[in-house]
Chains A and B, each alone.
Chain A
Amino acid sequence: MTEQTVNPGEVLLEVEDISLSFGAVRAISDVSFDIKKGEIRAIIGPNGAGKTSMLNCINGFYHPQQGTITYKGQKRSQMKPYEAAAQGIARTFQNVALFRGMTTLDNIMTGRNLKMKSGLFSSMLWWGSAQKEELEHRRYVEDIIDFLEIEAIRKTPVGRLPYGLQKRVELGRALAAEPELLLLDEPMAGMNLEEKEDMCRFILDVNDEFGTTICLIEHDMGVVMDISDRVMVLDYGGKIGDGLPEEVRSNQKVIDAYLGGGH
């Protein structure tokens, strides 16, 4: 069970021939693709094409009936989501999945949970190592808060925040885990132009500064074509295109799927 170190440009995660179905409904059929270290990989496709299901498979929330997923050179068996998190896979959600009863700060702090080790008793005492640990992580989280420019809402319960800011906090929570692979499920859905531009900038910065590999699902074609290195297209659970943005753009099948032709 040893994990390899993956250098930039090499394959970080490889998905081979996976199929997933719920009863008679087939969500994904025989899809293969890979994600290379350091790239921004996009998955696009019409509603119900199986994009979110694909992310769910990657981070262990769903278990495909067939096929294998290899992460850092290591084939994965049925793994739990928290094990995927421990291996460095973090994500955001299509419908914001923040902890509504907690403040922005606490939400982002939860992202650090895998790195916090202090036990029950020292936490009860709030003394010595537990306090030191808490403050160290607070510092890291404050850096993320600065980076995402959400200082002002630090102590606001997230339930009260507007949607665009919630998405930003959610990104912060995922970043707090210092992930190697970051899965973003429609990070720009429901945002106005300005918010989208901000989000794009954050995604590119994360990719640039921390070298985080990103796999994202997005509907806005313009955004996808601008920021991603490679694009995969799903339709009805199957893969219909994969490659550089320009290649995908000129792929006839993709054009058909989006314009409704051929169905």
Chain B
Amino acid sequence: MIEKRGLASAVPHIILILGIAFMCFPIYLTLVASTVTQEEIVHPPLPLLPGPHLIENYKDALFSGVNVPVMRMLFNSLVMAMAIAVGKIAISLLSAYAIVYFRFRFRMLCFWTIFITLMLPVEVRIVPTYEVVAQLNMLNSYAGLTLPLIASATATFLFRQFFMTVPDELFEAARMDGAGPLRFFKDILLPLSTTNIAALFVILFIYGWNQFLWPLLVTTDPQMNTIVMGIKQMLPTADDWGNWPVTMATAVLAMLPPIAVVVFMQRLFVKGLIETEK
């Protein structure tokens, strides 16, 4: 650094600490609220230190919940996030492989068909997509929950970009040794792509876990609710006080898996984030 004089060097630290406080304080209070009783919450102010009711609140949330035990919603969220992440990666790997390593009729048509899906996020086509899923009898099913979110241009493009950088010599050497297309894919391309796959998996897992609008529409059966959308029904309404400690415990449970992924796989996460947006 260039300037490092007394007070001036403390300013960045102070601003950063204020920033971190702004980012973390809401989460901290959520955590506190999940360890106290309803009485302590409805008679503000909320204490600033955690209370002793952590275990009972979380037990209450996990095993009874409001409409459905949170355990069930966590399971649904996990299935959804995994299916979306694995599904997207699988179909994108295959189609990117075909587009890069093969010459076939309609190749460019396929490419452009994938490309335009970039322009159709689920939020802008909700009503017709809902109707299609309803006609296919996929409401309240894991297939209906995940399939419409699986097609993704970004993942296909990421793998396409990556495959383009794989040296042609590898391909030629593999051909020389008599490897067919499937062999080349399995033994050379896949092992080379592991870091990319892992980085993408982290991003897609968070994307799938955090879906809100789509599960809200297709899961009318509480047994199929995901945790991120299910929490909406726990919020107090005009004629109901709700149960804040249990709701906040659910909020913490809903945040925990994606936050754990970001914190523990930070390097992959940053790589995935920056590469998918290129």
A and B: real partners? no
